[in-house]
A and B are shown apart, each in its own frame.
Chain A
Amino acid sequence: MDETPHIQQYLQLRSEFMGYLYAITRDVELSEDVYQNAAVVVIEQSEKPEAIRDFRAWAKEVIRRQALHALRARDVSSRHTRVISPELLDAVSDTFLQHDAEASVDREEAMALRQCLDELPLEKRELVSMRYEGGAAFGEISEHTGSTPAAVQRTLSRIRKTLHGCVQRRMGLAEGSL
């Protein structure tokens, strides 16, 4: 059994958990809230005497339940995009629960992403910053760039595909596997 404190293990899994949460909520703030609430569960569990045999699997289930609870509680307002279909929600959740990548792969991917971001031209880098750091909607970004929301969405879509391809190449997985 991994003797690393649970909260440290939990922090190390952040990108995977946040990626899943964002995939089913498409709402950064809600994803952060769920992640924080699940952290409290992890901290409280650490104070209990029962041992957890597979922390990663246990934490994923905590995340999934907290996320579903949050989704049910969330009022669908104008700032939220259309709610994910139950079929896709199940498929994404199953994919997440079955996934069991090694921590070393996670670290290498994180490093590769940072290197790939550094290779992006300035204007693309700024778009990524506006979207992921400022949390700006496509419409807000388009006001800065003087283009249309659809054009911003297309550009960001291409940037992410470029980044993904770059990460895969750096990870030695350049060939598609479909």
Chain B
Amino acid sequence: MTDKAKNQDALEDLIVGHFDGGLTEEQEKELADALAASPPAKQIFLSYMRMEGRLHSLGRDGFLRESAAKLQKIVSPPDGTSPVVQSDNQRSHSARSRTWAASTSLAVSAAMTLLLIWGMWPSSVNASSVLRRAQQAAAELVDRTYRLTLSGLDAESGPAARELMIFVRGGGCFVVRPVDGSYVMGSDGTDYWLAQQSGPVWVTGDFRTIAPELQRKIPNRRLLGLAASPNEPLLMQMSSLLSLIASSYDIELVESVDLAEHHVRATLRSKKNNSPQVIDFWADADSGVVLRAEIAWQSTIKKRFELVESPTLSDRWYHYSKHAPNRQVERLDAAK
């Protein structure tokens, strides 16, 4: 090892020791002197500092455990056969495939019907008509469950993403639940509410203006990306997303490979707006129901909705009492 390499190794020992809180006073002084005198030492410290921040963030979001579990599966196949690596995406896709099995047959039927009449019937489908039908379908008092995948919420998200389940119904009703169950948030069409795994239920009639107050009271790290943006609560509801498209976007019908669905691309008219730059949605050609939507901001943030199922849920499902029973209720707007 060269002197230069030895010096760097010694510096790295000091830096790692500092993050562990294990340096003596003399070592702390040595590190402080190095940082004050040496630009390269600063660069090394900064790269360790960013790495430390990332490791804590990855740990906080559960990504370290996920990968360790994935590794465990590879090392220890349950039946003693050769290890088979199945990625998170593949697993997610498998689950999705099962959920979609029932709807696939309907989609195939619709596609065959369309194929039969294709060429015999003059098509009057355009982007506006698809959007109108999608809005009508979204306004129906029918319960629909979407899987929402958020990616690129920060620079650290990388290829991974956060997943939430969203239950929506016309009339502004929705319930949002991340897969880890750390909180549940929703609206019964009148009030927005939010509950963590314990503690009170926070209720407000005006989510947007209350966001900073809510953030103070609920320092949930996963929630920050949602609650902090004025656009997010709006886009929790499919009907609101479609209304936003109708008011602020240029729309075009994109050729779809699947005849059972229509693909519409919406491009934001004003580039200075904080709204998403491009929204793509795919609506069922028969019912008009939005099957998928992909929302992209100018930054790296992307959001993807996928229709999972259409369960029948009670009115109470959208009320906090169903998800956080017997909890103290605190109205945020009343406190202001």
Contact = CB atoms under 8 A, between A and B. Distances in A.
B212 interface: yes
A39 B228 contact: yes
A88 B53 contact: no
Given A43-B215, A106-B155, A113-B51, A118 B67 contact: yes
A143 interface: no
Contacts of A135: 59
B299 A92 contact: no
Interface residues of A, number: 77
Interface string A50-90: 00000000000000000000000000000001101101101
B52 to A, nearest CB: 5
A178 to B, nearest CB: 5
Interface string A3-46: 11101100111111111111100101001110010011001100
> Main SS of the interface on chain B?
helix
A91 B22 CA distance: 18
A114 interface: yes
Nearest to A92: B35
B301 interface: yes
Interface stretch (B36-44, B185-193, B285-293): B36-44
Interface in B53-75: 53-60, 62-65, 67-68, 71-72, 75
Interface stretch (B3-11, B89-97, B113-121): B3-11
B19 A164 contact: no
Contacts of A11: 153-154, 224-225, 228
A108 to B, nearest CB: 10
A158 to B, nearest CB: 9
B268 to A, nearest CB: 13
A142 interface: no
Contacts of B31: 88, 91
A98 B46 CA distance: 10
28 contacts: A7-B228, A11-B153, A13-B155, A15-B54, A16-B53, A18-B56, A19-B49, A36-B224, A39-B224, A39-B228, A40-B216, A85-B28, A88-B28, A91-B32, A99-B42, A106-B155, A109-B51, A110-B156, A113-B55, A117-B58, A117-B64, A118-B67, A126-B68, A128-B55, A133-B59, A156-B20, A157-B20, A176-B5
Interface of A: 3-5, 7-8, 11-23, 26, 28, 31-33, 36, 39-40, 43-44, 47, 81-82, 84-85, 87-88, 90-92, 94-96, 98-99, 101, 103, 106-107, 109-111, 113-114, 117-118, 122, 125-126, 128-129, 131-135, 138, 153, 156-157, 160-161, 163-164, 167-168, 176-178
Given A133-B58, A156-B20, 20 more contacts: A12-B155, A14-B155, A19-B53, A20-B49, A26-B19, A40-B216, A88-B32, A101-B50, A106-B155, A109-B54, A114-B160, A122-B68, A122-B72, A129-B59, A132-B59, A133-B64, A157-B17, A160-B19, A177-B43, A178-B41
